[in-house]
Amino acid sequence: MQLIHFDIDRFLSDHWQKTPLLIRNPWQDWANPLAPDELAGLACEDEVESRIIRQTKGNWALEHGPFPESRFARLGKTHWTLLVQAVDQHVPDVAALIAPFRFIPNWRIDDVMVTYAADEGGVGPHFDQYDVFLIQGLGRRRWQIGALCDGSTALLPHDDLRLLADFKATDEWVLEPGDILYVPPGVAHNGVAVGPDCMTYSVGFRAPSRSDLIEGWSEHLLDTLADDDRYADPDLRAQPNPGEISPDALARLHAMVTAKMADRDAFARWFGQHSSTPKYPEQDWRPDEPVDEAAVRAAIADGADLARNPASRFSFVRQREDALLLFVDGQCFECGLDTAPFAEELCATEQMSLDPELVGLDEAVALIAALLNQGSIAFDEDEFET
Ligand code: SIN
Ligand code: CO
């Protein structure tokens, strides 16, 4: 699925992580993929993360879902927004909105948040830490963008919402169905519904903070370290002042830390597993009975298609031309000559037909069985339902 008149290379060099871009309806034939009442239905479910933001005279109020159906009838005709997270994991047509942006690596993709706003509804001027494509699905929304913000930008005093204290628009557009606004991290933005039934689909990305990376990687390392892996100085010599921590000692201590921290292969394994761990694991595709390799062979011979669980994450790290580490839902699979092409295809496509030749490749059959049994893939695309 490609956007019309959208030059990916140009977008990456001129806009990605740099400046906003308005893309006027680049779809072949835009159709809003989700009806407002279906979105409201999702917001009533326990396993779906949802919020309502209301503007009350000069103030902002936040409510967390799940909501009883009756909540929506009491919201009034203006000044409120319903936000539902990770709708792509429940609605295949919403998941399909990610396809045009697959030129961004899988591990950078977060989810598709969907908002529904009543007339004049919005979530207030703010900035996000992440890149986002804001796709106007239904109705119209006025988007304003402003300055680049950071941790020192003044915010309104509010317990739950991070709204800008002082937002000045530098540009604005009214988006119609199918239009897309790309907003880079840190750029102030404010979207307000113009008229009723305004739906926006936010294809959001993620970027780990340095502190999250260091925390996660160190925690992982700690699990691998033995208590007797200690400082040792069998070559110690008498030193003139016992108070000095000598350069030799410091070098040895520092190396004890940095040598482990700098282990690139171990880091690649950890990061692949860490970044492929699903955020919302509720979409459970695990079969009732474990699938065995004979069943996998039979399905391949039958020409079965594979579908990826929309909540699952697929990435790989290439080790050599014919060897890679496949990461799926926090698990690492070592893939050699027989499995690497399949693993690469799996990472590149959400649905695939299985090559009949895989029947004869024991490692590939075992890998498919493992992925089926952990619920990351399924033979039947009917699984792709709420
Ligand atoms: C919205 O759709 O109203 C909010 C999306 C955003 O600003 O990130
Ligand atoms: Co935003």
What is the Å distance from ligand 1's center to 10 Cα?
25
* pLDDT band with cut points at 50, 70 and 90 for residue 159: confident
pLDDT above 70 (res 381): no
Residues of the chain with CATH 2.60.120.650: 8-205
With a 6 Å cutoff on the Cβ, whether 190 touches ligand 1 is no
Phi, psi angles (nearest 5°) of residue 83: -120, 130
**Model confidence over 303-350: pLDDT tens digits?**
899 999 999 999 999 999 999 999 999 999 999 999 999 999 999 998
**Model confidence over 59-87: pLDDT tens digits?**
999 999 999 999 999 999 999 999 999 99
* pLDDT mean over 98-116: 97
Residue 138: its pLDDT value, please?
A: 98
SS3 (DSSP) at 271: helix
pLDDT above 80 (res 125): yes
Nearest to 173 by CA among 204, 194, 158: 194
pLDDT above 70 (res 385): no
Residue 58: its pLDDT value, please?
A: 80
Judged on CB neighbours under 10 Å (0-12, 13-18, 19+), 235 is exposed
CATH code of 293-384, in short, is 3.40.366.30
Judged on CB neighbours under 10 Å (0-12, 13-18, 19+), 237 is exposed
Compute the distance between CA of residue 304 and CA of residue 306 in angstroms, rounded to an integer: 7
**Whole-number average pLDDT of the chain:** 95
With a 6 Å cutoff on the Cβ, whether 123 touches ligand 1 is yes
SS3 (DSSP) at 358: helix
Nearest to 285 by CA among 316, 314, 311: 311
* pLDDT band with cut points at 50, 70 and 90 for residue 383: very low
pTM for this structure?
0.94
pLDDT above 90 (res 384): no
Pocket test for ligand 1, best of 113, 133, 183 (most atoms within 8 A of CB): 113
* pLDDT mean over 231-238: 96
Residues of the chain with CATH 3.40.366.30: 293-384
pLDDT above 80 (res 11): yes
**What superfamily in CATH does domain 8-205 come from?**
Cupin (2.60.120.650)
> C-alpha angle 148/151/156, rounded to 5°?
90
With a 6 Å cutoff on the Cβ, whether 132 touches ligand 1 is yes
How far is C-alpha 161 from the geometric centre of its chain's CA atoms?
21
Closest ligand 1 atom to the C-alpha of 128? Answer: 8
Closest ligand 1 atom to the C-alpha of 190? Answer: 7
Closest ligand 1 atom to the C-alpha of 141? Answer: 3
**Model confidence over 247-268: pLDDT tens digits?**
999 999 999 999 999 999 999 9
Beta bridge partners, 314, equal 328
